[in-house]
Structure 1
Amino acid sequence: MVSQSSAAELNIDNVKSAILVDADSGMVLFEQKSNEELPPASMTKIGTLLLIMEEIDQGRLSWEDEVTTSSEAAGMGGSQVYLKQGEKMTVKEMVKAISIASANDASVAMAEHISGSEEAFVKKLNEKIDRLGLKNTQFKNVTGLSESGHVSSAFDMAMLAKELLKYEEITAFTGSYDDYLRQDTDPFWLVNTNKMIKSYPGADGLKTGYTSEAKYCLTATAKRGEMRLVSVIFGAESSKERNQLSAEMLNFGFANYVSETFNKKGDILAEVSVDKGTPEKVHAELSQSLKVIEKKNEHAEYIRKVSIKKHLKAPIQKGDVVGEVHVYKGDMEVSKGLLVLKKDTNRATWSELFTRTWKKSFFAN
C-alpha cells in the first residue's frame, strides 16, 4: 500500500501520527508517521469489538445471549456504564455500551464471557493481529487503559477498523449518537464520545480514545455514496483538534478520490476442482465486493488476477476460502478479495469415484 499524497497537502503536524485509508481496498491516501508505535487508549476497543463480531458471525455468540458481570468487570475504572457484580445484560446491550459510551466494564465482561478471562481474550486478540500481519500492535488489555507495552500505530488501527467495518451491523451502534440502557428499571443515558457523528456528514463511527499519556485519539469513518473512508489520529492536544483534523482528512479524501466497484459480492470469478469431491467442480465467488479507489478523472487501467489454492480436497463447506483475487494498476496492487466456495462439496462415494475413473480412462482411449 503506497501513500497517494504528501504531508504538505494537509497541515496536521500538531499530532503524533495520522493516516487516511479507503475502507474497502485499504489503499493509503495520506499518512504521517503512520507506523510509529503509540498508546492507542480506547481505540483498543476496535479490536475488542472485532472479536465480538467474529464470534457472532461464526454462531458462537448471539445478540440475545446474557452476559453476567464479574466483580473484576464491575470494578473497572474510567469510562463505564456502572455495571454491578452479578448484573446481566444481553450481548446487544454490552456492544451498545462499548460502542457508544466506550464502557470499560462492558468490554471486560464481554472478554470474560467469550474467553473465560480478559487475559485469554487478549491472547486471542493478539493472535488475530498477527494473522492480519500488523507489526506495530501489541495489546495488554481490552480497554486501552495505560499499561506498559500496550501499543498500536495509525496504520494498524486503520486496518483493524477496516476489518471491523466488514460487519455492517457495527455502524448501527457506533453511528448512534445516544441511546439508553436499563430502560425498564433505572434508565441510563448513553451519549457517544465521538461527536463527529453529529457534526460530520456521513460519519457513523468508529472509536475515540483518551488518556493523559495517549492524549486525544480518534479512529473516524464516514461513507458518501459508494466510498467509505477511515481516518486515524494519535496524540491531538484536544478533542476539538482531533475532530477538526479528522474532518480535514476525510474532506481531502472525498474531494479528491472516487470509489469504483470492480466486482460485486457474490460474483463468480472461478470454477475450482475439488479432489474426490461431489460435485467435482464448484464455483468460487467473491466474499465481499471488490472495489478500487482512484483520483477523480484518472480512469486508470486495471488488471485482475485470480489465484486458487492447490490440492483442494473434499469435504469443503460453502463459504470456505478457496482462493484470492488481486487487482493491479501497473505493478501496484490496489485491491484484493477472497474467493469462497458457492456451495458444499461432500466427499464422493466409492462408486462415484470408480465411475469417474472409468469415464476418464474410457474417453482417454
Structure 2
Amino acid sequence: MGAKALAVAFILGLWAPQTRAEPDVVGKAALLMELHTGKIVWTKNENERLAPASTTKILTALVALERSPLQQIVAVSDRAAATEGSSMYLRPGERASLEELLYAALLGSGNDAAIAIAEGVAGSTEAFVKVMNETARRLGANDSSFLNPHGLPQKGHYTTARDLALITWAAMQNPKFREIVSTRIRPWKGEGWKGTLVNHNRLLGDYKGAIGVKTGYTVEAGQCLVAAARRGGATYLAVVLNSRGRAIWEDARELLDYGFKNYALLEFVKEGETVLRMDIGGRELTLNAAAPVRYLVSRNRPTKPRYHIILDQLKPPIAEGEQLGEVVFGEGKRGLRSVALVAGVDVPEPGSLHIIFWIGLVAALGIFIHRRRKRRRPHRYRFSRRIRF
C-alpha cells in the first residue's frame, strides 16, 4: 500500500465513527450532491416530475447571468407589474438594473421581478422561456419543462430533483449567483416599496457553512428548497421537492448532515502534478494536471476513483503548457468530470535538435576563444601598469 493510500485509510479510520443513518425525508422527492465532484450520494424519487415553485428562479437567474450584463437597465412593463403572487410592487415604467432585479427575484422571490428579468434579457417572456428550456437541455436536465420564469402553477411546468440539482450545480459555478444567494439582507429602494430584502432561506446563519440557495412554495408544489453548505473543502447541495410546513428545513438539514458525516472529499491529484510520463522524440514528456482533482469517498467503504486518460496525437513540436489530453473521472462508463493534461516541458521537432546542437557547439567555441583572449590581455595590462608606475 502506497503512502497516499495509507494516509487515506488512516483518515477514514478516524472519521468512521461519525457516520450518520440514512436521511428521513418528508419531501416527495429529494437528492444530495457534492458540488466539487458532481457525485450524487443520496436520492429519493429523484426522477419524479414535480412542480418546482420559486426554485424555478434559479434557472431564470442563470440564463440572465449568462446572457446579459448586470448593469443593464430594465424598464418594467405593465405585464411584469401585474404579475400575481410574491411581489416587489414594481410599477409600470419603473427602471432597475438587472443586478437589482436578480436580488429581488432570488432574495425576495419577486414574481414581478422575474418577469421583468425575462423581458429585459430576451425581449419577451416567451422568448426567455425558450432559452430556459434550451439551457436546461444543455445542462443535461432533460426531464424538465419550464413555461414561466417565476414558478407559479401552470400545467406542464415541472422539473425533477435530479434536473434541479444539475441546474443549480451550473448556477453555483457563477460567482455573482453565489454572492446573491448567500446574501441574507439587502436594502431595496423601489418606487412602489422601499425596505429590506430578507433572504427566505432560513438555513443562512442558522446552519453551519450554509451558502444558499433558493426556497419555493405554492399549494400545488408544496414546500420546496434547494440548499447548499460548505465545510472542510466539501460543498453539498440538497434538493427537496413537495415537502410540507417546517419539515422542509429538517429535510434539508438531514440531507446535508448525511453528506458531511458519511463522506470525505480527498485530493487525488494536485494542480501541476505529473500524471503521465512519455518518451517523445528522444525526450521525456511529462503530462501534468491543469487543475486539482478531488474525489468523494464513503467513510465506511473507501474506494479509489475510476478514471481513463484521453490523449491527442502527440507530435513535436510541443510547447510547455500546451493541452495534450484529459483525464476523465467517473464511475463505471459514465464520466463525471474531466481535467486537462498539459505539457510540462518543451519538446522541439527532431530535426531541430541537430540545429540546436550545432548552434550550441558554435556558441561554446566562441565563448572558449573569447575567454582565452581575455586571459592573455590582463597580463599585458598589468605589465603596462607596472611600467607606468
User: Superposed, which structure 2 residues align to 1:106-117 within 5 Å?
Assistant: 106-117=113-124
Q: 2:27 matched to which residue of 1?
A: 15
Q: Does residue 211 of the first structure (1) align with residue 211 of the second (2)? A: no
Change (3 A) 1:72 1:155: same
CA shift, 1:328, in A, is 3.9
| Aligned residues of 1:27 and 1:334 also touching (Cα < 8 A) | no
Q: Over residues 179-214 of structure 1, what are the superposed CA-to-partner deviations in whole Å (9 max), with x where a residue is unaligned?
A: 111189963211111111132111111111100001
Q: Secondary structure at the match of 2:24?
A: coil
| Aligned residues of 2:27 and 2:251 also touching (Cα < 8 A) | no
CA shift, 1:215, in A, is 0.6
* Structure with greater proportional helix content: 2
Q: 2:329 matched to which residue of 1?
A: 327
Which structure would you say has the larger Rg? 2
Q: 1:247 matched to which residue of 2?
A: 253
CA shift, 1:290, in A, is 3.7
User: Superposed, which structure 2 residues align to 1:24-39 within 5 Å?
Assistant: 24-39=36-51
Q: Does residue 305 of the first structure (1) align with residue 308 of the second (2)? A: yes
Q: 1:82 matched to which residue of 2?
A: 89
CA shift, 1:145, in A, is 0.4
Between 1:33-42 and 1:73-82, the stretch displaced more is 73-82
Q: 1:176 matched to which residue of 2?
A: 183
| Aligned residues of 1:39 and 1:152 also touching (Cα < 8 A) | yes
Specify which of 132, 136, 143 is matched with residue 129 of structure 1. Answer: 136
| Aligned residues of 1:322 and 1:341 also touching (Cα < 8 A) | yes
CA shift, 1:125, in A, is 1.1
Q: 1:93 matched to which residue of 2?
A: 100
Q: 2:236 matched to which residue of 1?
A: 229
TM-score for both structures, normalised by structure 1: 0.76
Change (3 A) 1:185 1:263: farther
CA shift, 1:79, in A, is 1.3
Change (3 A) 1:268 1:156: farther
Change (3 A) 1:269 1:185: farther
Aligned residue pair count: 320
Specify which of 65, 90, 96 is matched with residue 53 of structure 1. Answer: 65
Change (3 A) 1:143 1:266: farther
CA shift, 1:296, in A, is 2.6
| Aligned residues of 2:209 and 2:230 also touching (Cα < 8 A) | yes
How far apart, CA to CA, are the structure 2 residues paired with 1:123 and 1:182?
Answer: 31
Q: 1:277 matched to which residue of 2?
A: none
How far apart, CA to CA, are the structure 2 residues paired with 1:139 and 1:268?
Answer: 45
CA shift, 1:158, in A, is 0.8
Q: 1:296 matched to which residue of 2?
A: 299
How far apart, CA to CA, are the structure 2 residues paired with 1:131 and 1:144?
Answer: 20
Q: What amino acid sits opposite 2:150 in the alignment?
A: T
How far apart, CA to CA, are the structure 2 residues paired with 1:99 and 1:68?
Answer: 19
How far apart, CA to CA, are the structure 2 residues paired with 1:297 and 1:97?
Answer: 43
CA shift, 1:247, in A, is 0.4
CA shift, 1:94, in A, is 1.1
How far apart, CA to CA, are the structure 1 residues paired with 2:110 and 2:342?
Answer: 38
In structure 1, the gaps of 5 or more residues are: 1-7, 56-60, 271-282, 311-320, 343-355, 360-365
Q: What amino acid sits opposite 1:197 in the alignment?
A: L
How far apart, CA to CA, are the structure 1 residues paired with 2:324 and 2:142?
Answer: 26
Q: Does residue 71 of the first structure (1) align with residue 78 of the second (2)? A: yes
How far apart, CA to CA, are the structure 2 residues paired with 1:52 and 1:260?
Answer: 34
Change (3 A) 1:145 1:338: farther
Q: Over residues 46-105 of structure 1, what are the superposed CA-to-partner deviations in whole Å (9 max), with x where a residue is unaligned?
A: 1111112222xxxxx322221211111111111121111111111221111112111111
How far apart, CA to CA, are the structure 2 residues paired with 1:182 and 1:85?
Answer: 15
How far apart, CA to CA, are the structure 2 residues paired with 1:183 and 1:163?
Answer: 30
| Aligned residues of 1:291 and 1:335 also touching (Cα < 8 A) | no
Q: What amino acid sits opposite 1:190 in the alignment?
A: L
Q: 1:257 matched to which residue of 2?
A: 263
RMSD between superposed Cα atoms in Å: 3.7
| Aligned residues of 2:140 and 2:166 also touching (Cα < 8 A) | no
Change (3 A) 1:245 1:90: same
CA shift, 1:307, in A, is 3.2
Change (3 A) 1:147 1:255: same
Q: Over residues 153-183 of structure 1, what are the superposed CA-to-partner deviations in whole Å (9 max), with x where a residue is unaligned?
A: 1111111111111113322211112111118
Change (3 A) 1:53 1:324: farther
| Aligned residues of 2:295 and 2:305 also touching (Cα < 8 A) | no
